[in-house]
Structure formats: C-alpha cells, structure tokens
Amino acid sequence: DAEEIHEPHRGFGALRAQRRVLGNSEIGLLASGVTAGKSDRENLSGRSDYNYAIGTEAALRRGSSQLLLQGATSNRNGKQGWAVSSGGRGFVGKFLTMGTYEALGDSFDVQDIGFAPWAGRQRAVLVTGPFWTFKTGAVRNLYTSAGIARMRDPGSPRWATLGTVSLNPNLRSNWGCNLETNFGR
C-alpha cells in the first residue's frame, strides 16, 4: 500500500527594473515572491502560504569612485523583516579605500525566493591600501590592503573585531586571485 504524496500548487513571480541615471549610475527595483496553496487533502480552507520580498538599489558612480545602497523588506506568512546593505570605494591618490555595512533584521526571511542565511547579522568592514597599475609585464595591477571588520552574529550580544590583510594581483591574462588573512576573536 503506497503512500500518496500531494504537492501544493505553487506560483512564482519575479520583477526587476533598472534605469541608468546620471551617466553611469543606476537605480533599480526588485520584487519576487511565491505562493503555495495547500493540497485539498491537507487543508480544506484553501489557505495559501506565501513569501515575498521587495528591494531597491542605487549604484552611484563618479570616475572610479562608487557608492552602493540597497534595502529590502520581506513578508513570509505575516512575519515581516528588513535588510540594508551599503558599500563604497574611492581613490585618494594611489590609495584605494573600500567600506561596507550590512544589517539583516532577525525576521528577514527569503528562504523560498532567495538566499540570505544570515538573518540577525550585522557587519562593517573598512580597508585601505595602495593600488598599483603596471604598463608592462604579466601583472596588470596589484592591490594590497589592511583594515578592520566588526561583526555581530545572529543571536549574539557581542561584537567581534577582526583585522584583515589582503594581496590582490590581477594579471594581463585576465586571471587574478585574492589572498586574505583575518585575525581576531
């Protein structure tokens, strides 16, 4: 006597709109979602489960400098959450400085429509170092940096502080690598 398996009826949707502004910058909107109706055997009320997210983004660029801003909200069966992310990079002379900040609320949940396994995490990173460009030879450019990262994992009241050092060569053959070490508790 084999057991019957009834898959719920699912509906998926995604919408992405992006517009170029101010020359080489962009703004955008993303919406995605899924509904899953219970099978007739499981739920005669016809109630559906759902999960959707709506996000906005902006990438503002001027020369080789860039500022990225992103925000999103999620709703999974009435449980609402939020997430923000930002980052920037810019040159001062031959030094490239980059920074990021991201925070995901404890209730941010997009498991059926995306991938963000760090609900409740906060992270900030700031690195800087010289950026060399070479006119000849196998190496096109070389970036070395040192910096600091602070993060708080989901459910933890404590912030961890890490130091970071990296070496990032990019070759003329379009190959490259990133060698990085982090230290701290």
User: Of the candidates 110, 108, 98, which has an alpha carbon nearest to the alpha carbon of residue 34?
Assistant: 110
* pTM as predicted: 0.76
Sheet containing 160-171: give its strands across.
Answer: 9-21, 25-37, 48-62, 65-76, 79-92, 95-104, 122-133, 139-152, 160-171, 179-184
User: Of the candidates 49, 180, 183, 150, which has an alpha carbon nearest to the alpha carbon of residue 109?
Assistant: 49
CB 184 within 8 A of CB 165: no
Q: Tens of pLDDT along the chain (185 residues)?
A: 567 666 667 788 999 999 999 888 999 999 999 888 765 444 445 556 888 999 999 999 998 899 999 999 999 888 899 999 999 999 988 999 999 999 998 888 888 777 777 788 899 999 999 999 999 999 999 999 999 999 998 888 889 999 999 999 999 999 999 999 999 87
